């Protein structure tokens, strides 16, 4: 069964810690970018999200957002938790980062 509670590390060294997983499928925790982020100003930042009920779906989908500390950015993650035949849990996710744009004409470069 896939539960997001605990600590997760990405291939690029980013670390997500889910400290609270509620009965309502909400979770919260913290996120720290890895060295690949290349920005020493980024600190551990809060995250909030939802996971499908793992009791109903054995490999649930999830989503969460990270509100970056000291930056005008928010990142949204959307993915699924998989369990292999050895019981190993793996998360696969896509992400979208949004920075504040100074004007509508600058909107094109605000999303990665």
Q: Which residue has the tokens 């020493």?
A: 40
62: tokens are 């999830």
Burial of 111 (0-12, 13-18, 19+ CB in 10 A): exposed
Q: Is residue 45 part of a domain?
A: yes
Average pLDDT over residues 63-76: 87
CA 103 to chain CA centroid, Å, is: 27
93: tokens are 């996710």
CATH of the domain at 65: 2.40.128.30
At 9-53, the pLDDT tens digits run 988 888 999 987 888 889 999 998 876 555 555 678 999 999 998
Q: Tell me the pTM.
A: 0.83
- Give me the domain span that covers residue 86: 6-106
Domain count, the chain: 1
Say if residues 45 and 60 touch (Cβ distance below 8 Å).
no
Q: How far apart are CA 65 and CA 25, in angstroms?
A: 15
């Amino acid at each position: 069964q896939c539960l997001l509670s605990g600590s997760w590390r990405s291939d690029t060294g980013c670390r997500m810690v889910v400290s609270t997983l509620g009965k309502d499928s909400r979770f919260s925790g913290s996120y720290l970018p890895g060295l690949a982020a290349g920005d020493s100003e980024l600190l551990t930042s809060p995250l909030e999200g939802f996971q499908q009920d793992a009791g109903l779906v054995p490999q649930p989908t999830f989503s969460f957002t990270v509100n970056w500390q000291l930056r005008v950015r928010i990142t949204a993650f959307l993915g699924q938790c998989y369990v292999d035949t050895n019981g190993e849990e793996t998360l696969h996710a896509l992400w979208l980062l949004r920075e504040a744009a100074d004007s509508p004409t600058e909107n094109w470069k605000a999303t990665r």
